[in-house]
């Protein structure tokens, strides 16, 4: 919910991203003039047709890429003033296709905590806590990436992000490879985390039924621009579904 009295946790000011093509001063726009504020405890979903710039927006906020123009702030600090590793511990991104880099699930979950030199007992307690929360069976702990299905990998990647307790969690289509029951359970866990720990969630999610049930705010991107920024109560879900379907069909036609 927007509140002028509160300080924004994240702020994007007129952010644009252009492709850099050889022999061109400026390529084509991926994102244009995007400005919005995110407040602690927001649960925001980003929607829009394929190619609208949703993943690019998350990548910018995780500083995997740099904007061509504009600035991004975390709690009033400009991104360039924050060391990248520190930023990514506070603002953590789970991509759609996450890798375990040859580690077992146990190793991958423990690794970010080992880097923080936490005692072995604390590490195992946190691993146990999150696998229980996400209903990850203990027998997965010994498996590597190739021994996991896409949905199982997705769940492990989310557990690995949650284990470091970020302030802002960025998720790119977190439920895309999950069955309906697991997807709904994951959204409930995220909502609980959002409500009890005020963890801010910013996710790309095309599953509108889940968005309608769980998100408190929605950003609608279209053709590299921010079309609307609305709270859940302001959204006409039927209208939104129709306009997304039309935009998706149009985007598909442009590809043919
Ligand atoms: N590194 C890059 N170089 C050139 N073009 C890129 C790059 N990354 C993304 N794009 C282009 O930018 C546009 C937006 O891509 P992006 O992946 O952000 O869209 P999206 O809304 O997440 O799409 P989808 O729903 O299909 O994942 C697309 O046209 C894509 O081809």
With a cut of 90, say whether residue 123 has pLDDT above it.
Answer: yes
CB of 166 sitting under 6 A from ligand 1: no
Top-confidence residue, 77 or 22: 77
Q: 130 to each of 68, 106, 110, 119, how far by Cα in Å?
A: 38, 11, 11, 17
pLDDT band at residue 35 using 50, 70 and 90 as cut-offs: very high
For the stretch 55-58, contacts whose Cβ atoms lie closer than 8 Å and that sit 24 or more positions apart, written own/partner, are 55/95, 55/96, 55/172, 55/204, 56/17, 56/30, 56/31, 57/31, 57/221, 58/93, 58/170, 58/172, 58/202, 58/204
pLDDT digits (tens, 9 = 90+) for 223-251: 999 999 999 999 999 999 998 988 888 77
Q: Is 177 exposed, middle or buried (0-12, 13-18, 19+ CB in 10 A)?
A: middle
Top-confidence residue, 224 or 254: 224
pLDDT band at residue 126 using 50, 70 and 90 as cut-offs: very high
pLDDT at 124: 95
With a cut of 60, say whether residue 1 has pLDDT above it.
Answer: no
Residue of minimum CA distance from atom 7 in ligand 1: 19
CB of 49 sitting under 6 A from ligand 1: no
Distance of alpha carbon 168 from alpha carbon 91, whole angstroms: 5
Distance from Cα 125 to the centre of ligand 1, integer Å = 39
Mutate to test the pocket of ligand 1, among 15, 30, 65, 173 (most ligand atoms within 8 A of CB): 30
Q: Which atom of ligand 1 is nearest to the CA of 53?
A: 18
Mutate to test the pocket of ligand 1, among 27, 51, 66, 251 (most ligand atoms within 8 A of CB): 51
Distance of alpha carbon 70 from alpha carbon 12, whole angstroms: 8
Distance of alpha carbon 181 from alpha carbon 131, whole angstroms: 16
**Which residues lie below 8 Å from residue 118, measured CB to CB, with a gap of 6+?**
126
User: What is the mean predicted confidence (pLDDT) over 122-148?
Assistant: 93
pLDDT band at residue 117 using 50, 70 and 90 as cut-offs: confident
CB of 50 sitting under 6 A from ligand 1: yes
Q: Which atom of ligand 1 is nearest to the CA of 206?
A: 25
With a cut of 60, say whether residue 112 has pLDDT above it.
Answer: yes
pLDDT digits (tens, 9 = 90+) for 142-186: 999 889 988 899 899 999 999 999 999 999 999 988 899 989 989
pLDDT at 177: 86
CB of 53 sitting under 6 A from ligand 1: yes
CB of 55 sitting under 6 A from ligand 1: yes
**pTM of the predicted structure, to 2 decimals:** 0.91
Mutate to test the pocket of ligand 1, among 55, 224, 225, 247 (most ligand atoms within 8 A of CB): 55
Distance of CA 136 to the CA centre of its chain: 20
For the stretch 71-80, contacts whose Cβ atoms lie closer than 8 Å and that sit 24 or more positions apart, written own/partner, are 71/12, 71/13, 71/14, 71/15, 72/10, 72/11, 72/12, 72/13, 72/15, 73/8, 73/10, 73/11, 73/13, 74/9, 74/10, 74/168, 75/7, 75/8, 75/9, 76/7, 76/8, 76/11
Q: What is the ipTM of this complex?
A: 0.95
Instruction: Please report, rounded to a whole number, the percentage of residues in the chain having pLDDT higher than 90.
Output: 69
Distance from Cα 56 to the centre of ligand 1, integer Å = 6
With a cut of 80, say whether residue 254 has pLDDT above it.
Answer: no
User: What is the mean predicted confidence (pLDDT) over 6-23?
Assistant: 88
Dump the DSSP string for 99-162: --TT-BHHHHHHHHHHTTT--HHHHHHHHHHHHHHTT--GGGGG-BGGGS-HHHHHHHHHHHHH
Instruction: Please report, rounded to a whole number, the percentage of residues in the chain having pLDDT higher than 70.
Output: 95
Distance from Cα 124 to the centre of ligand 1, integer Å = 38
Distance from Cα 128 to the centre of ligand 1, integer Å = 36
């Amino acid at each position: 919910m927007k509140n002028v009295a509160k300080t924004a946790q994240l702020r994007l000011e007129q952010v644009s991203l252009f492709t850099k093509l050889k022999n061109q001063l400026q390529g084509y726009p991926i994102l244009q003039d995007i400005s919005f504020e995110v407040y602690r405890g927001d649960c925001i979903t980003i929607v829009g047709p394929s190619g609208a710039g949703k993943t690019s927006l998350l990548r910018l906020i995780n500083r995997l890429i740099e904007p061509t123009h504009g600035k991004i702030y975390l709690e009033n600090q400009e991104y360039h003033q924050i060391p990248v590793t520190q930023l990514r511990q506070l603002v953590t991104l789970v991509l759609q296709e996450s890798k375990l880099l040859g580690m077992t699930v146990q190793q991958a979950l423990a690794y970010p905590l080992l880097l923080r030199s936490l005692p072995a007992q604390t590490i195992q307690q946190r691993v146990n806590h999150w696998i229980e929360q996400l209903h990850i069976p203990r027998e997965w702990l010994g498996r590597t990436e190739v021994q996991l299905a896409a949905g199982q990998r997705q769940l492990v990647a989310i557990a690995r992000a949650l284990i470091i307790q970020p302030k802002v969690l960025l998720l790119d289509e977190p439920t895309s490879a999950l069955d309906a029951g697991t997807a709904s359970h994951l959204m409930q866990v995220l909502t609980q985390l959002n409500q009890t720990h005020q963890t801010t969630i910013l996710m790309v999610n095309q599953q509108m039924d889940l968005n309608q049930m769980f998100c408190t705010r929605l950003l609608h991107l279209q053709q590299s621009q921010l079309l609307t920024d609305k709270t859940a109560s302001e959204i006409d879900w039927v209208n939104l579904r129709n306009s997304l379907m039309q935009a998706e069909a149009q985007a598909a036609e442009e590809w043919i």
